[in-house]
Structure 1
Amino acid sequence: MRVLVVQNFDNEGLGQIGAALVEAGADIDLRRPYQGDALPDDAAEHDAMVVLGGAQNALDDENCPYFPGLLDLTRDFADNDRSVLGICLGSQLLARAFGGENQIGGATEFGWHRVSLTPEAKTDPVLAALPEKFPIFEWHDDTFVLPDNAVRLAGSAIAENQAFRIGRAVYGFQFHFEADRPMVRDWSTSFASLIAERHPDWHDRLDGEMARNGPDADAAGLAIARAWVATI
């Protein structure tokens, strides 16, 4: 099993997805196109693709000139029945790739927030085993309107479209289910100045928020990661 991982920003790692891929014995092919790494021309040499998050918006082709090629690659993976996973920015790029409308700003969520599954999620192979509502880590300002052929799987009070599926195994997740407690703590340190500008109380809230929400969020995130890996 060879999995292409597209990283879009420093410190945006695989987290619990990486743990699930290691469990499955996957060969991870990490590309950082924002640092100049070339993307494959097509899906032929990979069984699945993961597109991670980033601070960019999904329409920022000027600063991320590799975006159009990544959209083409995403469609090629889908056309060849390869599993695809997009997280945060990755989900916004997935929506764009399949004709959804990106909405820049107006949907800010940061920290652990509760998401709710839709009735369609109850029969979805990745989400069926999850509770109807659970806390999960969020960090985004943007959102999107779903592509016409997407199945909506989860939403929140701020962002209606938190998870969706296209076809058999192309999944977009607005929330950071890969971000377990160690990753959130690392982000809180690595991006401390950025977070403090917009959420000045985060440092004081972190331990309490983590204690209240971390165990359930970590369990949900690992379950999602393992279930998605099982689609490959």
Structure 2
Amino acid sequence: MSVVVVQHVACEAPYAVATALTGAWLRVEVCRVWEGDPIPESLSGVEALVVMGGPMSARGDSGFPTREAELALLRAALAADVPVLGICLGAQLLAVAAGGVVRRGPEPQIGWDDIGLSPGAGSDLLFADLPERLKVLHWHSDTMSLPAGAVPLASSARYPVQAFRVRGSAWGLQFHLEADSAAVDAFVTAFPEEAAGAPGLRDDTPESLAALVPYRDLVLGRFAALVAARSAHTSARTFFTPRADAWEERFAHQTPAYAAAVARMGLEPGQTALDLGCGTGRALPALRAAVGDHGEVLGVDVTHAMLGAAARTGRAGLARLLLADCHSLPLRSGAVHGIFGAGLLDHVHDPDAALREWARVTALDGVLALFHPSGRAERAARHGRPLSPDDPLARPNLEPALRRAGWRLVEYDDAESHFLALADLSRA
């Protein structure tokens, strides 16, 4: 996976953004629009999206042939909670993609000038701990009205929108926080007429840049850390989000197999059942039937779009749907009596940690069901590959993994038509 950086012109490179990303061991892939690189058609394999500035305008397509493709990519990133950083033009495109409006500003703002932090900055993942006023490099002439729900983070007298956040992981910066001395030299060389309107720009840079660097590195380092920490979530979300609407119809024929697997868990009325990685909720009707009206059913998934699809099928009425990471569940210890996980264990990034967490939230008489609606051999053949000895669901791998986490394998059924492993908590 990689961080895709959309660069519109040669002089507006990622600069300090790239330094922060590579410092977090992230791979940076630059899409050089001015050289004819195509905008990616999907977010497959993308850990984050960074959109840089440029002389074109987000207000229309004139002189900006990739605008619609970039807006589509930004909308996809917002839908899948892929981390986004938009700078200058990139911030304006982010605002438009989220439903805001970009318009011509009162006058160009070029050079070093102050911004003031908004109240929302104090609790923001990137902007917390910054000083109330900060001198930054401006080079823009358009402004914007933010979409509903966006959180303002910084403003200035001439341009009230200087930084904002959309949802939980997309930030727009009207100013050039990525700036270093090379950036300033490149901007002045590329746009000499605009630079002439900002007397003292070069003279102001050494002192202003020295004061900015600690805060620049703090914000960009936090963004890079967020991207790295969410990498596993991002991979799942970029895969499942565009497929969520069609998922239920495509796999509805598997619902009876889900019900048969739930029946083998031995759940009783009044108990609490948890469907981990519930997707569109194909197991939820069977889990609800097993625990009855007085029991509780929880559906957990890491992808908003899949939970939304589950709700649209009416399954929100069968269970409480939670957006959560299966490695860190928002549940008290011993809260559930049965955990159902379909096609899950071989997709978690740390199986041992996940199994320990599932043991933590399970009552002593609880059961874990690891299920797939097709057997391991059939799945491998369908994908044109042999069975792998490293498969975490192979019994020689699964049984010791369960044991390490406190589980005891009590049933292992790897048939052609399904896979089901049942485990309980070891009394040893």
Q: Is the shorter-chain TM-score for this pair beyond 0.5, marking a shared fold?
A: yes
Q: Tell which deviates more after alignment, 176-185 or 94-103.
A: 176-185
In the aligned structure 1, how far is the partner of 2:82 from the partner of 2:206?
Answer: 37
Cα deviation per residue 1:138-194 (whole Å; 9 max; x = unaligned)? 001111000112111100111101011111110000010001233213322343345
1:219 counterpart = 2:214? yes
1:229 counterpart = 2:224? yes
1:36 deviation in Å?
A: 2.2
SS in structure 2 at match of 1:141: strand
Cα deviation per residue 1:110-162 (whole Å; 9 max; x = unaligned)? 11111111111001010002111110100011110001121111001111010
**1:36 corresponds to:** 36
1:30 deviation in Å?
A: 1.0
For 1:1-232, list aligned pairs within 5 A: 2-196=2-196, 199=197, 202=199, 205-232=200-227
In the aligned structure 2, how far is the partner of 1:193 from the partner of 1:115?
Answer: 24
* Larger CA Rg, structure 1 vs 2: 2
Number of equivalent positions:
227
SS in structure 2 at match of 1:106: strand
Q: Tell which deviates more after alignment, 66-75 or 101-110.
A: 101-110
Identity of aligned residues (%): 35
Q: Which runs of 5+ in 1 are unaligned?
A: none
Cα contact 1:177–1:222 (8 A) shared by 2: no
Cα contact 1:43–1:80 (8 A) shared by 2: no
SS in structure 1 at match of 2:53: coil
The letter for the 2-side match of 1:216 is A
Cα contact 2:5–2:31 (8 A) shared by 1: yes
In the aligned structure 2, how far is the partner of 1:174 from the partner of 1:194?
Answer: 17
1:55 deviation in Å?
A: 0.6
The letter for the 1-side match of 2:156 is S
Q: Tell which deviates more after alignment, 62-71 or 162-171.
A: 62-71
**2:314 corresponds to:** none
In structure 2, the CA distance between the partners of 1:63 and 1:191, relative to structure 1 (3 Å rule), is closer
Cα contact 1:53–1:89 (8 A) shared by 2: yes
The letter for the 1-side match of 2:168 is R
**2:394 corresponds to:** none
SS in structure 2 at match of 1:39: coil
SS in structure 1 at match of 2:17: helix
In the aligned structure 1, how far is the partner of 2:202 from the partner of 2:55?
Answer: 24
Q: Which runs of 5+ in 2 are unaligned?
A: 228-428
Cα contact 1:12–1:54 (8 A) shared by 2: yes
In the aligned structure 1, how far is the partner of 2:35 from the partner of 2:61?
Answer: 15
SS in structure 2 at match of 1:230: helix
The letter for the 1-side match of 2:212 is A
Higher relative contact order (CA 8 A, sep 6+): 1
Cα deviation per residue 1:186-230 (whole Å; 9 max; x = unaligned)? 32234334523xx1x63xx13531244221122222221111112
Cα contact 1:2–1:29 (8 A) shared by 2: yes
The letter for the 1-side match of 2:220 is A
In structure 2, the CA distance between the partners of 1:57 and 1:68, relative to structure 1 (3 Å rule), is same
In the aligned structure 2, how far is the partner of 1:111 from the partner of 1:62?
Answer: 26
Instruction: Report the aligned-residue RMSD.
Output: 1.6
TM-score scaled by structure 1? 0.92
In the aligned structure 2, how far is the partner of 1:186 from the partner of 1:177?
Answer: 15
The letter for the 1-side match of 2:125 is P
In structure 2, the CA distance between the partners of 1:207 and 1:57, relative to structure 1 (3 Å rule), is closer
Cα contact 1:34–1:64 (8 A) shared by 2: no
In the aligned structure 2, how far is the partner of 1:206 from the partner of 1:152?
Answer: 27
Cα contact 2:110–2:194 (8 A) shared by 1: no
In structure 2, the CA distance between the partners of 1:146 and 1:107, relative to structure 1 (3 Å rule), is farther
Q: Tell which deviates more after alignment, 158-167 or 106-115.
A: 106-115
In the aligned structure 1, how far is the partner of 2:205 from the partner of 2:194?
Answer: 19
Cα contact 1:107–1:143 (8 A) shared by 2: no
The letter for the 2-side match of 1:185 is D
